[in-house]
């Protein structure tokens, strides 16, 4: 059985660590900094890092790859369409990779960046900066249409999928979610739960898709109240889910 835990990095990044106690092999997702991973390996003699999974090219996700690659024998997986340091295996849409005996499906999810990928194994999703808890990544490279389609694709995975995103942004995302849907009691409950976790300095991840579908405005563009709020914001009739999404994303950028 593989265990997943978080190695905090920078101010609000998590490097996800996958451990297979049976073989004492481990893997990491998006090591923006090598130091926390090397420190963990030093504290766990006998363990070896065999795989590094990358979702997209931003520095806070790939900054530690070269140092980890030279310190270990790890294989580096990353999106084919982006420049990833020390990448061994270039991944495209619907590819499948085996990591610590788990098969992961690869989905391209353009929007935050154009080549961004996500990794899915039954019940587990590593989605980088595409889907966040109660939010989504900024559109640095892609269009609102692309990001909306990417989020819809992830939302179509089973409800009990655990969502492992890269940043601890949940509390600020929920402030925005509550502004979009002031009457949504699931959001109000989550605001309180996350406030408690953060006051204890605990992480709010992983999330799960059922909770995201109830509380993440960017997955709720088909809700009448969300559409109405988006229409109010940009003073026009947003006809498609992608238009509602674009309006929400632009609002959040200035929130």
Residues tagged in the binding site annotation:
56, 58, 60-61, 112, 129, 167
36 touches 9 (CB < 8 A): yes
Among 129, 168, 181, 212, binds Zn ion (CB under 5 A): 129
Stretch of residues binding Zn ion (CB under 5 A), selected from 73-81, 91-99, 124-132, 149-157:
124-132
CB-CB neighbours of 114 under 10 Å: 17
Residue-level length of the chain: 255
Among 58, 220, 227, 229, binds Zn ion (CB under 5 A): 58
For residues 171, 176, 180, 185, the Cα torsion angle rounded to the nearest 10 degrees is 10
Stretch of residues binding Fe ion (CB under 5 A), selected from 3-11, 127-135, 177-185, 197-205:
127-135
Residues within window 208-237 making contact with Zn ion, judged by CB under 5 A: none
* 51 binding Fe ion? (CB under 5 A): no
20, 51, 58, 116: the active-site residue: 58
Looking from the CA of 76 toward its CB, the CA atoms found within 13 Å total 26
Cα–Cα dist 238/232, whole Å = 10
Residues in the interface with Zn ion (CB under 5 A) total 2
Question: Is the CB of 51 or the CB of 60 nearer to Fe ion?
Answer: 60
Q: How is residue 206 written in tokens? A: 């992983």
Among 20, 33, 51, 60, binds Fe ion (CB under 5 A): 60
> Cα-atom radius of gyration of the chain, to the nearest Å?
18
Looking from the CA of 155 toward its CB, the CA atoms found within 13 Å total 24
Q: Is 253 considered catalytic here?
A: no
- What are the catalytic residues? 56, 58, 60-61, 112, 129, 167
Binding site for Zn ion (CB under 5 A): 58, 129
């Amino acid at each position: 059985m593989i265990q997943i835990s978080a190695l905090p990095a920078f101010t609000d990044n998590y490097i996800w660590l996958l451990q297979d106690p049976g073989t004492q092999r481990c893997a990491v997702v998006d090591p923006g900094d090598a130091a926390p991973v090397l420190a963990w390996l030093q504290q766990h003699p006998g363990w070896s890092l065999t795989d590094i999974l990358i979702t997209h090219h931003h520095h806070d996700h790939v900054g530690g790859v070269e140092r980890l690659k030279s310190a270990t024998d790890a294989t580096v997986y990353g999106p084919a369409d982006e420049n990833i340091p020390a990448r061994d295996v270039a991944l495209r849409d619907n590819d499948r990779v085996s990591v610590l005996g788990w098969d992961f499906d690869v989905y391209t999810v353009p929007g935050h960046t154009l080549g961004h990928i996500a990794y899915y194994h039954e019940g587990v999703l590593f989605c980088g900066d595409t889907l966040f808890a109660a939010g989504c990544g900024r559109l640095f490279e892609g269009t609102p249409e692309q990001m909306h389609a990417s989020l819809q694709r992830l939302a179509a995975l089973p409800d009990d999928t655990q969502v492992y995103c890269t940043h601890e942004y949940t509390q600020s995302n929920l402030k925005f979610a509550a502004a979009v849907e002031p009457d949504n009691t699931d959001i109000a409950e989550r605001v309180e739960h996350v406030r408690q976790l953060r006051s204890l300095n605990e992480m709010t991840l992983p999330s799960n898709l059922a909770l995201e579908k109830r509380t993440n405005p960017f997955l709720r563009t088909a809700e009448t109240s969300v559409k109405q709020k988006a229409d109010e914001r940009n003073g026009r009739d947003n006809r498609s889910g992608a238009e509602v999404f674009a309006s929400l994303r632009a609002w959040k950028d200035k929130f």
